[in-house]
Amino acid sequence: GSRNWRARGSAGQGYQERGSGGRSRCSRRPLHVDFKELGWDDWIIAPLDYEAYHCEGVCDFPLRSHLEPTNHAIIQTLLNSMAPDAAPASCCVPARLSPISILYIDAANNVVYKQYEDMVVEACGCR
């Protein structure tokens, strides 16, 4: 099998563990959302951009506890490690999300301050 290694990323990125085949294990990665680029700056006042993050990487056996795997994901990953054709690997997905508050102009031209749930990935997991 391949040996696991850790590489230091930029500040705040922590490390990325490598799984089998040298592919990065499941972790949170940057994803910048720019409302101006989306053409939404005509109704969104603030913020005009934010860091949403996304989840990427492999969920291979053994699953790490910080990935908060479900029992189903543990069994599926074990089956996949024994017979890859029998079961797909579990998926790297957001495990915990947080809201952001947005100041915008609604259809009636009112300025509205609203909290939108599940807009920022705080943690990734294998499910």
Cα separation, 63 vs 89, in Å, equals 11
User: How much is the pLDDT for 50?
Assistant: 98
- pTM for the complete prediction? 0.76
The pLDDT of residue 117 is above 70: yes
Query: Which residue is it, tokens 């910048």?
Result: 32
Domains observed in the chain: 22-126 (2.10.90.10)
User: How much is the pLDDT for 45?
Assistant: 98
Phi (first) and psi of residue 22, to 5 degrees: 75, 5
User: How much is the pLDDT for 4?
Assistant: 33
Question: Residues 52-93: pLDDT tens digits?
Answer: 999 999 998 888 888 888 899 999 999 999 998 989 999 999
Could you tell me which residues are beta bridge partners of residue 54? 29
Question: Residues 11-44: pLDDT tens digits?
Answer: 333 444 555 556 799 999 999 999 999 999 999 9
Could you tell me which residues are beta bridge partners of residue 114? 102
